[in-house]
């Protein structure tokens, strides 16, 4: 077992569960399908990254992440009402549907359809976890040095990491 600590430039494998303030399980990953990320590259929310700093393999920790260091506070300006005609003709909007839109600066933003009232469609561009205090229960499964390629890309590669060909 390695004596390495989680620090910038390490690729980390985690088992974790994620619960909201009501205690509902939102996401989880166990040792058969661990979550893999590159520490220090903002692949995970800042509050979790800070909470994992300095842990070693075998460590278990509960990290509570408030919105400010998680997915942000809810921005009411991202809650919009649009007309059905603003959707492509071949799309039937339904509550819960997600779609990507581009700001004038070209940033991609994912909107979720909140509700539909006749021709008016309420959409929300906030991250689904915005405004929530999140509790991550993590166990550190493995730590290794990132490859130069991973450092260049800013994310982890490999069996359970992010797979692609660039
Ligand atoms: Zn890559």
Query: What number is the average pLDDT over the span 6-32?
Result: 96
d(Cα 52, Cα 54) in Å, to the nearest integer? Answer: 6
- How many Å lie between the centroid of ligand 1 and the Cα of residue 100? 22
| Predicted pLDDT at 75 | 94
- How many Å lie between the centroid of ligand 1 and the Cα of residue 23? 34
How would DSSP label each residue in 53-78?
Answer: TT-BTT-EEEEEE-GGGTT----GGG
Q: How confident is the model at residue 161 (pLDDT cuts 50, 70, 90)?
A: low
| Predicted pLDDT at 107 | 73
Q: Spelled out in words, what is the top-level CATH class assigned to the domain 10-71+130-153?
A: alpha beta
| Predicted pLDDT at 32 | 93
- Predicted confidence (pLDDT) at residue 60 exceeds the cutoff of 90: yes
Q: Please determine, looking at this structure, whether the domain spanning 76-124 carries the CATH number 3.30.420.40.
A: no
Q: Where are the domains of the chain?
A: 10-71+130-153, 76-124
Q: What is the dihedral of CA 105, 109, 115, 120, to 10 degrees?
A: 20
* Per-chain mean pLDDT for the chain: 91
Query: What number is the average pLDDT over the span 84-103?
Result: 87
| Predicted pLDDT at 33 | 92
| Predicted pLDDT at 2 | 56
- How many Å lie between the centroid of ligand 1 and the Cα of residue 122? 36
Query: What number is the average pLDDT over the span 140-156?
Result: 95
- How many Å lie between the centroid of ligand 1 and the Cα of residue 34? 18
- Predicted confidence (pLDDT) at residue 154 exceeds the cutoff of 70: yes
Instruction: State pLDDT tens for residues 30-51.
Output: 999 999 999 999 999 999 999 9
């Amino acid at each position: 077992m390695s004596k390495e600590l989680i620090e910038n430039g390490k690729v980390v494998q985690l088992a974790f569960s994620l619960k909201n303030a009501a205690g509902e399980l939102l996401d989880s990953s166990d040792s058969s399908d661990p979550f893999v990320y590159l520490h220090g590259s903002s692949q995970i929310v800042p509050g979790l990254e800070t909470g994992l700093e300095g842990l070693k393999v075998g460590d278990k920790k509960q990290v509570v992440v408030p919105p400010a260091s998680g997915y942000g506070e809810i921005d009411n300006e991202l809650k919009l009402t649009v007309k059905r005609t603003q959707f492509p003709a071949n799309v039937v909007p339904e509550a819960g549907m997600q779609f990507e839109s581009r700001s004038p600066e070209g940033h991609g933003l994912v909107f979720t359809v909140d509700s539909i009232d006749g021709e008016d469609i309420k959409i929300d561009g906030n991250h689904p976890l915005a405004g929530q205090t999140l509790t991550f229960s993590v166990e550190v499964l493995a730590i290794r040095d990132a490859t130069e390629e991973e450092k260049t890309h800013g994310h982890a590669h490999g069996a359970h990491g992010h797979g692609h060909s660039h």
